[in-house]
Amino acid sequence: MVALSGEIKEVFNKTKVMPMATASKSGVPNVAPMASIQLIADDTVWIMDNYMVKTLENLKENPVVALYFYDQETKRCFQVKGDTEIKTSGADYEKFRDQVKAKGHKYPAKSLIVIKITDVFECTPGKEAGKKVL
């Protein structure tokens, strides 16, 4: 199990919008900004599907994702990769759906994407860039 360190969690929590990369079964890539996102545990991220089209199609074919997060102040950045599960019912979905809908009725909160983190990579420019850290 991968457990994010305090520094990585700090950078994650400072990032308001994160690019998430997916790929279809045949390898066609897609990157989309994710804003309804929460770090739920040291190894688990929740993302609410408000407007996903290609991303959701890709996740159904190939449940592996990469997220990139960057702290403008410190210039630190990381990439996490993980395996996903799509939930459209249940306690976790309802809990996050209610949080997202409380921000405004414009968010449809269609499904919950649960990411179990499998790998973490350093993205900060320098000699450690690209290094697997977890």
Where do the domains of the chain lie? 6-122
The architecture that CATH gives domain 6-122 is: Roll (2.30)
What is the pLDDT averaged over residues 3-9? 92
pLDDT digits (tens, 9 = 90+) for 103-123: 988 899 999 999 999 999 999
Percent of the chain having pLDDT more than 90?
93
The CA dihedral of 18, 55, 121, 38, to the nearest 10 degrees, is 50
pLDDT digits (tens, 9 = 90+) for 73-92: 999 999 999 999 999 999 99
Burial class (CB within 10 angstroms; exposed 0-12, middle 13-18, buried 19+) of 67: buried
